[in-house]
Amino acid sequence: MRNLLVVLLFTSFSCTNTTQGEVETKSEIVKVETRSKSSSKKAKNIILMIGDGMGTSQIFAGLVKNGGHLNLENFKHSGFIKTHASDNFITDSGAGATAFATGKKTYNGAISVDDDGYELKTILEIAKENGLATGMVATSSITHATPACFAAHDESRNNYEAIARDIYRCGVDVFFGGGLQFFEPQGLVDSLLTAGYEIVKNMEELIVAANNKIAGLLALDYMPSMTEGRGDFLPMASKKAIEILGKSEKGFFLMIEGSQIDWGGHANDTEYIATEMVDFDNAIGEVLKYALLDTNTLIIVTADHETGGFAVSGGSYEEKEIEGSFTSGGHTAVMVPIFAYGSGAEMFTGIFDNTEVFDKMMEAFGFD
């Protein structure tokens, strides 16, 4: 794909606490002007970004909160995906992420196993078998359902210590998130050190980390929300993961999850949703900067499901305010959007099943 690229960087990211627990957020917008032709060129790197619980209204809430623009506006290839599980019209994150990771439908609560409990090979494991570097970033525990589905196999998403053991055995090169309490009691931190990992437990250590293998466990369980002061963990962890994985001559696969968009939906909390969406978009901006420099990179941005039956019922661009309404405290069955940028992006248009995300990633990598 031949691209003429002009990159204009606008206001830098900031996150400052304001009164009554509100958070002033700003996503750095990477403006891209392109004239391009579709290309079947193989992708060397694939970065799959999952906004957990992110429907179109969640995206719009983030856009309004950010003053009317998001980095997602640079993604010219888009579509919608169907999200049902094998046993339920409404998926959970386990079944949804298993579909992305393996190309197979499964039951709600499963972690990359089929309906009979048999393990399903994941895109991350296949990438590793082909000599690529691999990574995961999440604002939840790294053992939570979505990241777990790429590096673990279990009949229940709630078996966090067993999932931690699987992540260790999988040998993911770089992972950042919470979940220290699921690794430390069973000696997995020591095992990771023995296996050559650099252990990162706070942002200061993350920023200076330079090892080719890094285990970032920055919270006992999940990371704080943006309204609780998480700051720029997600964009900085995404940037660091790319910095490390980008050293691989054969390329890399990286999964990044904005985990807590979903939690804002469960809580029916519009401010929670909007601030998490802006943070996720800021991470998208960091990833987009890399793809502008390395044109062999494919970025995919999507969601496992929508949460809350969320609708934006009012608001103001000038005040960056959103009024929301909800139909549920759980997930909904609606289709969710998918966006793509870079090598192979033209495959991600129209309406298709969530299992096809795996198939399209395999095709983009040139894997059989």
Which residues are annotated as catalytic?
93
> Which parts of 251-349 are beta strand (E)?
252-258, 297-302, 306-307, 311-316, 321-325, 331-332, 336-342
Sheet holding 133-141, edge to edge: 198-200, 214-217, 174-178, 133-141, 252-258, 45-51, 297-302, 336-342, 77-82, 350-353
Quickly count: other Cβ atoms within 10 Å of residue 45's Cβ.
Answer: 27
Residues 201 and 213: their CA atoms lie apart, in Å, by 14
Quickly count: other Cβ atoms within 10 Å of residue 86's Cβ.
Answer: 16
DSSP secondary structure letters along 249-266 = TT-EEEEEEETTHHHHHH
Quickly count: other Cβ atoms within 10 Å of residue 116's Cβ.
Answer: 8
**What sign does the CA torsion over 118, 124, 130, 135 have?**
negative
Closest CA to 151 of 253, 70, 72, 223: 253
